[in-house]
Amino acid sequence: MFEGFTAEMVDAGPLRLFVRHGGSGPVILLLHGHPRTSSTWHLVAPRLVELGFTVVCADLPGYGRSGKPTPTTDHVPHSKRAGARLLLRAMHELGHDRFAVAGHDRGSYYALRMALDHPDRVTRVALLDCLPISEHLDRTDARFATAWWHWFFFAQPEVPERVITADPAAWYHGDPDSMGVENYEEWQAAIRDPDVVRGMLEDYRAGLTVDADHERDDRAAGRRIRQPLLVLWSLRDDLEDLYGDPLAIWADWADHVTGHGIDSTHHMAEQAPEILARALGHFCTVSGDDPS
């Protein structure tokens, strides 16, 4: 995987983050979702390099080979605000102070927080299979709670750790044929590490508490995404079934939003890499930083 890329641990202040980076040209940071690592981008990142981009793929704080924040009862060290600061520090260490960011699933919440909190650093943002956490919670009904029950299970103290670490392969589903052998092996190593499992669960615990509070504070203060926003979602997942057109919801959060569905299951970077790379490449080259 990632031929021609450099893989290294980068100083992010209190933690070190594992990153892969390569290419030349405009910079795009790719952030994976749960329960993946940065290797989920192994088919997308090289395509973006071919399109003329510098690409950075980072393991999220708490995930994969990245450093693990120390959990606290208020979950603040695992908040997306704290994680965004770590990622920005790592990007600075790599020499990138302005860049586009694309996040999938849980990674999209770090990308959202970076765009809202640090608009001087983020030129464009792409959010994949994502609605704001607070929008999910404010719309919670029996259908959502049944389909996304894991959000509420992961929020429970201690029990999810015991359940998942007892048999990670039975809990998380994946196969080398659909994921790619090396991506699958890296993912297997991650989910079998109890510290990674704890970090992933703390991500969700922060989501239902401090992260949702931060989003509601944003709305109350009138903060919006001022950068161009691209929203993509998997047509063979349930986001559209639950909420209708995601763009209609994001219009309340962003000034310049475009997007569309992709014919894929949830892990679109693995299932539809060519379509995804083309969409990201086009989005990041249209009109530079100018949303018009």
Provide the b/e sequence for 140-170 (b: ≥16 CB within 10 Å): eeeebeeeeeebeebbeeeebbeebbeebee
Cα–Cα distance between 285 and 126 in angstroms, integer? 13
Mean pLDDT of the chain: 96
CA end-to-end span of the chain:
37
Share of the chain above pLDDT 90, in %: 96
> Which residues lie below 8 Å from residue 287, measured CB to CB, with a gap of 6+?
none
Is 105 an annotated catalytic residue? yes
What residue ranges define each of the domains in the chain, with the CATH number in brackets? 6-283 (3.40.50.1820)
Residues 6-51: tens digit of each pLDDT: 999 999 999 999 999 999 999 999 999 999 999 999 999 999 999 9
The pLDDT of residue 173: 87
Is 92 an annotated catalytic residue? no
pTM (two decimals): 0.96
Residues 65-92: tens digit of each pLDDT: 999 999 999 999 999 999 999 999 999 9
Question: Is the pLDDT assigned to residue 205 strictly greater than 90?
Answer: yes
Which residue would you say has higher pLDDT here, 289 or 231? 231
For residue 86 the two structure tokens come to 């770590």
Provide the b/e sequence for 257-276 (b: ≥16 CB within 10 Å): bebebbebebbbbbbbbeeb
Residues 159-193: tens digit of each pLDDT: 999 999 999 989 998 999 999 999 999 999 999 99
Confidence of residue 292 (pLDDT cuts 50, 70, 90): very low
Share of the chain above pLDDT 70, in %: 98
Residue closest to 29 by CA, chosen among 69, 4, 50, 59? 59
**One of 32, 42, 78, 105 is an active-site residue; which one?**
105
- Pairing outcome for strands 122-128 and 99-104: parallel
Average pLDDT over residues 139-155: 95
Confidence of residue 287 (pLDDT cuts 50, 70, 90): low
